[in-house]
Structure 1
Amino acid sequence: MTKPFPRSPQMSGWEAPQRFEGDIYDLEIEGEVPEDLDGSFFRVAPDPQYPPRLGDDIFFNGDGSVSAFRIQNGHIDFKMRYVQTPRYLREREARRSLFGAYRNPYTDDASVAGLSRTTGNTNVVMHNGLLWALKEDSLPVAMDPLTLDTLGESDFAGQVSSRTFTAHPKFDPETGDMFCFGYEAKGYATDDIAYYVIDPSGAVKHEAWFRMPYPGMVHDMAITENYVLFPVAPFTSDLERMKAGGPHWQWEPGLDVVYGVIPRLGGPEDVRWFHGPNAFVGHTLNAFEDGGRIYYDVPLLNDNAFTWWPDAEGRAPHPAELKGAVMRVELDPKRTDLRAQAEVLSPELAEFPAVDDRYVSAAYRHVFLMGMDLSAMDFGPAPALPANSLFNTFVHLDAHNGTVRSSWAPGPSATVQEPVFVPRGPGAPEGDGYLLALVNRHDEVRSDLVVLDTAHLADGPVATARLPFRMKNALHGSWAGAEEFTRSS
């Protein structure tokens, strides 16, 4: 490597690039791993293999680094591999960064013009026996879930014509159908959404194309028994700004949040757009129907949480100015004014939810989130933290009344990463099972994988698998039971 990485908060301290692939057979464990856990906990983090082409970069633009914790018979094996995208391979061959700013091909080296820009760094999910590395500006990348070998970018055998694919598909718990979409589906800065339903064998069973009110960001989605929801956050993209070397996204404080609602098998003529006050839209907890109304649970913030993409005047809030809550947004198909009504479900400043997947799209009660309590932190001389890495507790929220049922924090010198929920068994009541997540031990500069029993969350881990190094903060991850590793076609 001919030059070092920048010493910016996004690329130093805890977030310094790891540039590492490897395996650890049989991790050291304190406590006992429940015998009924049989599967893999997958996660993906942005981890650039070369210093940024433009001198510095944002966290979201690193190469995808996938980790797998294979849990079986009380043991845990660890594996970590890069998603070997065309971008990754071309830069590896050149021994330098060739791609420029996040989602802006006009800042790339001319030698990679037209090459896929995907990093596969945002989420990993199982479908049809394959692990899919997802990045919402591109098509998904298939990987072998056992070896983490990269199999390649996929348009599902020509069935998906969208240029992009969401990082947050939803799965129907009864049918296994994958509900998914791409926004900017026809190319950069377009207002097109392509919506798909893909069955467990990989066959597209429904497709619909429609346009949103402005070319905004649609990071997550939700499904109910009869509908699909697309929350559009008030960031806009602009092709001329990108051609001039500017950012892909710009915060728009004067725009409404809009929520697109379409019947599961609906077409473009069926889409209705509900408007709500300007806000930053977080990750979906869940959505369900009751009495003919749709209820969508999601964290909302009063201002732009992605401060690296300011408004037209260059304004971005200080993180301390951000206020938020977990909100319940009511979308009534009978309303003629198409206004979204929101009320506080919980005042907790919490994000990155994990629900019992058996209750996705239905009335539910239990949700587990990452909470933030800055007053409880004491890092001393520990490495600097970027603002998006300050979650330090797990919160069990009751979605019926918004109360905190229990919580657990790993200590004043530790932070947490996104949890996944695993039911105790097929017949277990909702929310009864285990949370799996990484804990960042800043005082030791290394990470733990913890297994928490949701029935006794406040008691702390029933098992802790010690890693001998730090794990960069991931974006998202998922759990897959061992039965999911077999392809259906």
Structure 2
Amino acid sequence: MPAYPQTIHFVGLNTPVGIEWAARNLDVIGAIPAEIDGAFFRAVPDPAHAPMFDDDIVLSGDGMVAKFTIQGGKVDYAIRYVETERHALEKDARRALFGRYRNPFTDDPAVAGRDRTVANTTPVWHGGRLLMTKEDGLGYEVDPDTLETIGRWNYHGAFTSQTFTAHPRVDPHTGEMFFFGYEADGLCSTKVAYGVADRDGNLVSEHWFDQPYCSTIHDFAITQQYAIFPIFPTTADLDRLKSGGAHWAHQQDLDSWVGIMPRDGKVAEMRWFRGRPGVSAFHIVNAFDDGDLVHLDLCLSDTNAFGFMREAGGIQRDQREISGGLTRWTFDLSKAGDGFEERLIGPPGDMPRLRDADQGRPYRSAWYLSMNPQGGPPLPGGPVGFAFNALLQIEPGNGRIDMMGLEFGMAISEPVHVPSAQAGHDGWLLMVVDRQAGEADFKSELWVVDANAIAAGPVARVPMPLPMRAQVHGAWVSAAQLASAKAHQAA
């Protein structure tokens, strides 16, 4: 393996692995519940080549799609690179050709104008298709059985945006998927393309609007009536990019905004609400309507969580000094003005997970990652440089919080939720847990946790035989859904 920079983005849990492999009948410690029947897909950034610049970051890593297949209590595993245009070009050249994170002006001239996305952020299942997504380009369709890459997906040319979000939302009752692309018509553009696809995966509408400034809109939310777009002051600048600088720089003194519009796409009815300067959130738990009120629950911090985005904006703050928590913003649409209410509803954390059935509706329970005060210093790794070591369950209605805290030298990746057919049971959570076994040696396991009793720890564990790199996001796809995959239907 070539030499990689010895920075936080390439050491610890972020150490490049770069191995495509598969294994059947992995060892299972404990018993996996029979109703867990399907596949847990993971998006894993893993650079196939040493970067062109030593200050490269985790988020530039080539996308790998990983799959735990679980059936009858047995577990198989496979992981492959997503064959993006970028990956194919660099594979042929046997070296990196694309430069700094989301800055095409730093690329090798041989790849000018080529697709830069690495499709490394979120596996998305909808309408019988599995997409690997990253918000700087279109998603890539992947065969959910073989993990072979099929190609870029743009709804047969109907979706005209250059980009597609890593966080679409699916209504559990209508089956519709709501999504968007920002910088929709080019670098540093304020244009946002908002799309709706029916339950069969057909694009039914596309509407464009302008955000107040060009920000990184990583996540958004839907309710039964509205689409909600939080805008945080991490901004792009074309002159900065042309000079070889960072795509994103956080502006601590700039106001945040929230746009709320009818979710069917009436952009003329968008209302903008002004938020506190400098705040940031990358992930939203949920949103729901309550008469004229709209509630938005998000993992909020008082500045950007990514060090490289803060530093590009001249903000020098230690990661441990960032404050925030699970926060509820409430908008009263019956009132004029651009103000809204804010209250803290849970401890700091991120990577939230909700039951799919609760999407856009009042919810009883949700889960997200946090830090265990007794867990010792966090392991190095993950997108922001340190790994979470606790799983929280929160019930916003009554304030109840439960925790599964990990031991010293352990880390946890975002869970996925598997529904249960048992009345009154919240289902199961699947997650990869890492443990430091030596100075530069880490062991990984798949854990199965009862979502109603997370403090009890795993009911089953699957030790992994080879090193694993930290994921970004994951998705659970049931066996019934997999059986309907478009990739397996006759042309």
User: What's the TM-score, normalizing by structure 1?
Assistant: 0.95
Is it true that 1:402 corresponds to 2:399 in the alignment? yes
Structure 2: distance between partners of 1:195 and 1:387: 28
Contact 1:234–1:255 (8 Å) recurs in 2: yes
The unaligned stretches of length 5 or more in structure 1 are none
1:386 Cα deviation from its structure 2 partner: 7.5
SS of residue matched to 1:92: helix
1:198 Cα deviation from its structure 2 partner: 0.6
The 5-angstrom pairing of residues 331-410 of structure 1 reads 331-346=331-346, 348-377=347-376, 387-404=384-401, 406-410=402-406
1:384 Cα deviation from its structure 2 partner: 7.4
The 5-angstrom pairing of residues 245-256 of structure 1 reads 245-256=244-255
Q: Which residue of 1 aligns with 2:434?
A: 440
1:128 Cα deviation from its structure 2 partner: 2.0
Distance change >3 Å, CA 384–CA 437, structure 1 → 2:
closer
SS of residue matched to 1:445: strand
Q: Which residue of 2 aligns with 1:188?
A: 187
SS of residue matched to 1:376: coil
The 5-angstrom pairing of residues 164-203 of structure 1 reads 164-203=163-202
1:402 Cα deviation from its structure 2 partner: 2.9
1:334 Cα deviation from its structure 2 partner: 2.1
SS of residue matched to 2:307: coil
Structure 2: distance between partners of 1:313 and 1:98: 27
Q: Which residue of 2 aligns with 1:417?
A: 413
Contact 2:246–2:312 (8 Å) recurs in 1: no
The 5-angstrom pairing of residues 40-439 of structure 1 reads 40-278=39-277, 279-310=279-310, 314-346=314-346, 348-377=347-376, 387-404=384-401, 406-425=402-421, 428-429=423-424, 432-439=426-433
Structure 2: distance between partners of 1:439 and 1:116: 33
1:430-478 CA distances to partner (integer Å, 9 max, x unpaired)? x611010000111261100000012222111111011023321111011
Q: Which amino acid aligns with 2:400?
A: T
The 5-angstrom pairing of residues 450-489 of structure 1 reads 450-485=447-482, 486-487=484-485
Count of residues in Structure 1 that have an aligned counterpart in Structure 2: 482
Structure 2: distance between partners of 1:189 and 1:106: 13
Query: Could you tell which deviates more after superposition, 329-338 or 287-296?
Result: 329-338
Structure 1: distance between partners of 2:433 and 2:408: 12
Query: Could you tell which deviates more after superposition, 177-186 or 299-308?
Result: 299-308
Contact 1:14–1:470 (8 Å) recurs in 2: no
1:282 Cα deviation from its structure 2 partner: 3.1
1:13 Cα deviation from its structure 2 partner: 2.5
Structure 2: distance between partners of 1:457 and 1:203: 38
1:300-356 CA distances to partner (integer Å, 9 max, x unpaired)? 11122111023666223111110111000011222321113211112x112111111
Contact 2:306–2:384 (8 Å) recurs in 1: no
RMSD: 1.7
Structure 1: distance between partners of 2:448 and 2:292: 39
Q: Which amino acid aligns with 2:436?
A: H
Structure 2: distance between partners of 1:342 and 1:157: 42
1:55 Cα deviation from its structure 2 partner: 2.6
Q: Which amino acid aligns with 2:169?
A: K
User: What's the TM-score, normalizing by structure 2?
Assistant: 0.95
Contact 1:118–1:138 (8 Å) recurs in 2: yes
Distance change >3 Å, CA 386–CA 63, structure 1 → 2:
closer
Query: Could you tell which deviates more after superposition, 251-260 or 142-151?
Result: 251-260
Q: Which amino acid aligns with 1:363?
A: P
Structure 2: distance between partners of 1:301 and 1:71: 36
Query: Could you tell which deviates more after superposition, 435-444 or 15-24?
Result: 435-444
Q: Which amino acid aligns with 2:463?
A: R
Contact 1:304–1:317 (8 Å) recurs in 2: no
SS of residue matched to 2:187: coil
Structure 2: distance between partners of 1:360 and 1:387: 27
Structure 2: distance between partners of 1:268 and 1:378: 46
Structure 1: distance between partners of 2:290 and 2:377: 44
Structure 2: distance between partners of 1:266 and 1:450: 40
Q: Which amino acid aligns with 1:407?
A: M
Q: Which amino acid aligns with 2:256?
A: V
Contact 1:292–1:332 (8 Å) recurs in 2: yes
The unaligned stretches of length 5 or more in structure 2 are none
Structure 2: distance between partners of 1:58 and 1:391: 19
Contact 2:61–2:120 (8 Å) recurs in 1: yes
